[in-house]
Amino acid sequence: MSEFVYDALPMRVVFGPGSLARVVDEVDRQSLRRVHVLSTPPQRDLADRVADLLGERCVGVFDRARMHVPAGTADAAGNMAAELRADGWVAVGGGSTIGLGKVLALRTGLPFVAVPTTYAGSEMTPIWGLTEAGRKQTGRDRAVLPRSVVYDPDLTLTLPVSASATSGLNAIAHAVEALYAPDTSPVIAAMAERGVRDLAAALPMIAEHPGDGAARADCLRGAWLCGACLGATTMGLHHKLCHVLGGMLDLPHADTHAIVLPHVAAYNLPAAPAADAALRRALGADDAAAALADLGARLGVPAGLRDLGVDRADLRRVADEVWANPYANPRPVTRPELDGLLHAAWEGRA
C-alpha cells in the first residue's frame, strides 16, 4: 500500500447506550422543524418513541419501509412527506429503512438523520438502491449520506440472534472486501481490522446472551467501522455475487452475505496477502476463510444457498450475470472457478 487516495466522507456519529434521546439535538443541529419519521411495520413502536422524543418537531410517521426499497414504497413515503410539508427525515431501523431515507434524500435534497438498529452498516455508505419491476438499481451519491448517525446499542437488544448474526456477518463482508479493494488505504485497513475483531468476538457472546449490552455495543461499533469501509472503497466479487443472487432470486440480503463470504474469502485471500494477514490477526486464526465459516456455523447461519431455497439450476443464470459485469477483484476470476465457487456456496461445503 505505497500509493493510495483517501477521500473522507463527512459523517457525524453519536455513539452510546441511551443515545436515542440525543436524536432531538441532532435534528436541531440540522435546523429541522417538520420531521417525518421512517420505520418498517414491526418497528412502529420505536418510530412512535422517536416521534414522542421529537414532540412538535415531528409531523408524522411512515411505517411501511421494505427490503430493497420498492419504488412504490419510496413514492408513497415521498408523497406523504410532501403532504406533511416535511423538511427532513429520521430513519430508525435497519438497512431497509435507512435505504428508504437515502432514496428520499436523493430525490429531494432534504437531510435525514439515521438511527441504525441492525449491524448492516448502510448508514455509513453513499450507496443507494431502488427496486422497480423486479430490478434493483444502485448508485453512489454523497447526497444520500445521513447528516448525522445516532448509534444506540440498546436499540439492538431486541434484534433476534439470527438477524444479529447475519447482519453482523454482512458488516464483516464489507471489511473483508475493503481490505483488498484497489482503493484501500491505511485508514480503511485499520478500521476494517478493528471492525472485524470487534464483531467476530462479540457476535458469539450475543448468540449466548442476547441481552449482553457490552457485546451489543461492541457489535454496533464494529458495524459502524465496517460500514465506513464499504462506503470508502470499491466492492469486489463478494458484493457482486450477493447483489446478483439477491436481485435475481429474491434472497434475504444478510443471509446471502453470510453464506457466500467464506467461499469468496477462500478464493481471494491467497491473492491478497496484506488483507489475509489483517483478517488472521482480527480473527485470531491461521486460516481466515475457515475462521469465517466457523463463525457462521457457531452463529447458526444456514450452511448453503440451497438452505435458502435456491435451485441448483439457477446457479448458471447467476454466474452468467456476474460474468457479464466487470468488478474489481484481487484475483482474476475464471468462469470455471466462478461456477465452482457458486456451487460450493450452494452446497455449503468448505
Of residues 18 through 77, those in contact with ligand NAD by CB under 6 A are 40, 42-43, 67-68
Site string for ligand NAD, 203-232 (x = CB under 6 A): ---------------------------x--
Name the grid cell of 3. Answer: 500509493
Residues 91-130 that bind ligand NAD (CB under 6 A): 93-97, 99, 117-118, 120-122, 125, 127, 129
Q: Name the minimum Å distance from CB 69 to ligand NAD.
A: 7
What's the min distance (Å) between Cβ of 168 and ligand NAD? 10
| CA 335 – CA 343 distance, rounded (Å) | 12
Q: How far is CA 114 from CA 15, 90, 191, 200, 308, in A?
A: 12, 6, 21, 24, 30
The residue among 67 and 81 lying less far from ligand NAD, judged by its C-beta, is 67
Q: Which of 183/347 has CB closer to ligand NAD?
A: 183
Residue 32: enclosing H or E segment and its boundaries?
A: none
The CA–CA distances, whole Å, from 209 to 65, 179, 194, 212, 214 equal 29, 30, 22, 6, 11
Q: Is 236 in the site for ligand NAD (CB under 6 A)?
A: no
Q: Which is nearer to ligand NAD, 273 or 309 (CB)?
A: 309
Cβ burial 29-60 (10 Å sphere, 16+ → b, else e) = ebebeebbbbbbeebeebbebbbebbeebbbe
What are the C-alpha distances in Å from 333 to residues 97, 182, 288, 328, 338? 34, 16, 20, 10, 7
Contacts with ligand NAD in 143-162 (CB under 6 A)? Answer: 155-156, 158-159
The site that binds ligand NAD (CB under 6 A) totals a number of residues, namely: 29
The footprint of ligand NAD (CB under 6 A) covers 40, 42-43, 67-68, 93-97, 99, 117-118, 120-122, 125, 127, 129, 155-156, 158-159, 163, 167, 170, 230, 253-254
